[in-house]
Chain A
C-alpha cells in the first residue's frame, strides 16, 4: 500500500467514524480562542481606529452616531505641543525604565541562579512580592514614600546623614519623572528577573565547564556564553517591557498626575485626559492612542531586527 493509499484509507476511516482531519481538528480547536480574541482585542482596536476618524463626544457615543472627521483628529494631535512633550517624556521614561530593568534583571537573576545559597532561594520568593502589588496601590505607596515632609524616603536618607533638607522627589520638575520611574521599576522588575532566571537555568553547565577549562574568566564566560544564549529572552523582555512602559499610567495617576506642571505628562496620561475629562474628545483620544500603538510596534520591530541581526 502506497502512502497515498494509506491517506485515503485513513480519510475513509475517519469519515466512517465521524472523526475530523488533523487540519480541521486544529482549526476547530483554535476557533473559540480566535473568536474570543477577535471579540475582546481586535474589535475594540478596530473600533478605536474607527472612532479616531470621527468626531466623537459623550453624547455621540451614547447615541452611536458620529460625524465623519477625516484626519482632523490626527492633524490636531500633531499640532498640539503638549502631545509632542508627552511623547518625548514617554520615550525618555521608556528608555530609562527598560535599560535599567534589563541590567538589574540580569544581575539579580545571576545572583538568584546560585542555587547553593539559601539566600537565593529566599530571594526568589521575596522578589515576587512587588509583582503582586496592584499598580495603583504601588503608586500610592510610593506617593507616601516620596512625601516631602512626611515621607519615609526623606526620613531614611536624613537618618543616614545623606541629606540635610528634605528632597521634593515627586514635586520637583527635575526629579519627578525619575521618581515615577523608580516606582515603576520596583513593581515590574520581578517579571524580567523571573524570565531571565528561567532562561539561565536552561543553559547547559557543560558550556561553562568547557570555557573554564579553556581559561575563560567570569566576564568572558558571561559575554561568550550567557549573554548570547539569553539574547532571545532579552528580546522578549525588551518588547514586552517597552510596550508596557509606553503605556505607563497608574503610577502617574497616583504619584504626580502629570505634574508638576507638565514634567510627567506621558502619552497614556495625555490620551486619558483628552478622552475622559470634559469636553471628552474621544475621537482625538483614540487617535493619540493609535499613534502610541504604532510607536510601540515600531520599537518592537526595531528590537527584533537589531538583536537577531547581532546574533546572526
Chain B
C-alpha cells in the first residue's frame, strides 16, 4: 500500500496560476488565519450551469443546513441533502447509487471507502482546480484515506483520536489520587470503586456494533499494547499468544462473566450515546473512543456531570489510534465542476477562501481536521477549550497512529464483511458465550470467507 502515500504532484497549468495567485493573497493574511486565502480556484464560478446539486451524508447537528444555505447564497444554486444516521449511510448511498439517482457529493468512513472506490462510486479529484493544493495541506491520517493507489479521491471531513475519559468527582470520592497509568491500576481502580459502592459498573466501554465502535476499542487496546491485527504482508496477527488475543482476554474479563466491572450498556452504545450514558454519572471510566465525546459529556444540557469529565491518555508510552473520514465527489454527479464546487464547501474552502466547514466542525462539535493548517490554528485551541484540556488532547494526537496501520485490512473491500463477523464474535466473547481464543480462531477462519464474499 505504499502507493497510497505517493505525493500528489499532478497539477494543471490553471492550478499553478491559481495557486500562485492564492499564495500572493496568502502573504497578505493576518496572523492566525494562515489557512484563509481570499482568492483562488474556490472563488471562481464554473462555466456550466446547473439547477440544483445534492449531497448524501450522515447526520451531525445543523452543519449541513448551514453550509447549504451558504452555498446557495454564494452561488445561487439550490442544494438538496439526503441525511441518514452514520450506520445507515452506506446503505442509503448504495441504494441511491444502484437506483440510478444523481448524487453529487457524499462522505465516507475509511471502512466503507475502499468498497465505494472499488464499486466505481467515487470520482478521482486529480486535475480539478485547486485539488493538489488541498492535498499538500492534508494530515497523515487524511492522506491514508483520501489517496488511493496514488489518486486523490476525497477531501477531509474530520479526524479524531481515541482517548479515555474519567469522572473526576467520582475518582476523588473513591479516594483515588490520579487516573490509572497501567492496565493493572485500571482494574484496581474499578474493583475499588465497585467494592466501595461508588459505582456498580465502573467502566463503560464503547462496544456497540459498528464499523469502528466495538472494533475501535479492541484495535486501540491492542495497538497500545504493541500489537496489530495484520502485518504489512496481510498476514493476520490473531494467533495464540498474539497481542490482540491477549488484549481481548483482558477486555472480556471486565464483563459479567469475569470481574463484572463493565457496564452492560457498553454492548449497545456508540460514540455519542456512550458519552450521554457516561454523562449520567454512574461510571468512573469511559473506555477509549473518539476524543470529541467530551463535547457531549461536558455539555450541561446533556450531562449531569458536565465539567467533571476529564480526558486521559493510554497507559505505557501513550500510543493510541486515530482516524479520518472524507467527503468525496460521486461518479453519479450532475456536473463535475459544480459537484467539485459543492464538495469544497463540505471538505475544503468556501468562496471566501476559508475552511468554513472544518472550522465550524471544530468549534461546534470538537472535531479534529484533516488539514494541518486547521489543526495548527486557533480554531482548534479556542474551539475545543470549553469541553476539554486542548493541550493534553493535542499531545495525545502526536502519539496517534492511523487505524489502518493497526488494521491494514481496512484498505481492502473484504474488511467490511469481516468487521460484521468481528462484531458478532467479539460480542459473543464479551457476553461469555465463547472464549477469546474461540473468537480469534473464528475470526481467522472468517478472513477467507470475507474475501470470498467480495
Contacts and interface: CB of A to CB of B under 8 A. Distances in A.
B119 interface: yes
A260 B452 contact: no
Contacts of A76: 452
B416 A257 contact: no
Contacts of A262: 424, 428
Interface string B436-454: 0000000000000100111
B282 A261 contact: no
A277 B209 contact: no
Interface in B96-115: 97-100, 112, 115
B417 A58 contact: no
20 contacts: A57-B119, A58-B121, A59-B121, A62-B100, A148-B265, A149-B263, A149-B265, A168-B264, A259-B423, A261-B424, A261-B431, A262-B428, A276-B91, A278-B116, A278-B417, A279-B115, A279-B119, A279-B454, A280-B94, A284-B453
The listed residue with most B CB atoms (<10 A of its CB), out of A58, A172, A276, is A58
What is the interface residue range for chain B against chain A? 35 or more
Main secondary structure of the interface of A (DSSP, over half): loop
Nearest to B426: A261
B119 A280 contact: yes
Nearest to A281: B453
Main secondary structure of the interface of B (DSSP, over half): helix
A130 interface: no
A149 B282 contact: yes
Contacts of A58: 94, 97-98, 119, 121
A171 interface: yes
A277 B420 contact: yes
Interface in A250-295: 257-262, 265, 273, 276-282, 284
Contact of A259 (B98, B118, B263, B267): B267
A59 B119 CA distance: 5
Contacts of A59: 119-121
B268 interface: yes
B98 to A, nearest CB: 4
Interface residues of A, number: 33
Given A148-B264, A259-B209, A278-B417, 6 more contacts: A57-B119, A59-B119, A149-B282, A173-B428, A173-B431, A279-B413
Contacts of A173: 428, 431, 433
Given A173-B433, A277-B416, A261 B97 contact: no
Interface of B: 90-91, 94-95, 97-100, 112, 115-116, 118-121, 209, 263-265, 267-268, 277, 280, 282, 332, 413-414, 416-417, 420-421, 423-425, 427-428, 430-431, 433, 449, 452-454
Interface in A146-171: 147-150, 168, 170-171
A305 to B, nearest CB: 38
Contacts of A265: 424
B402 to A, nearest CB: 20
A89 B430 CA distance: 21
Contacts of B332: 62
B416 to A, nearest CB: 4
A171 B204 CA distance: 14
Given A62-B97, A149-B282, A278 B112 contact: yes
A36 interface: no
A61 interface: yes
A173 B432 CA distance: 9
Contacts of A279: 115, 118-119, 413-414, 416-417, 453-454
Interface string A69-82: 00000001000101
A80 B449 CA distance: 9
Contact of B267 (A62, A171, A258): A171
The listed residue with most A CB atoms (<10 A of its CB), out of B95, B425, B430, is B95
A278 B90 contact: yes
Contacts of A168: 264
Contacts of A284: 453
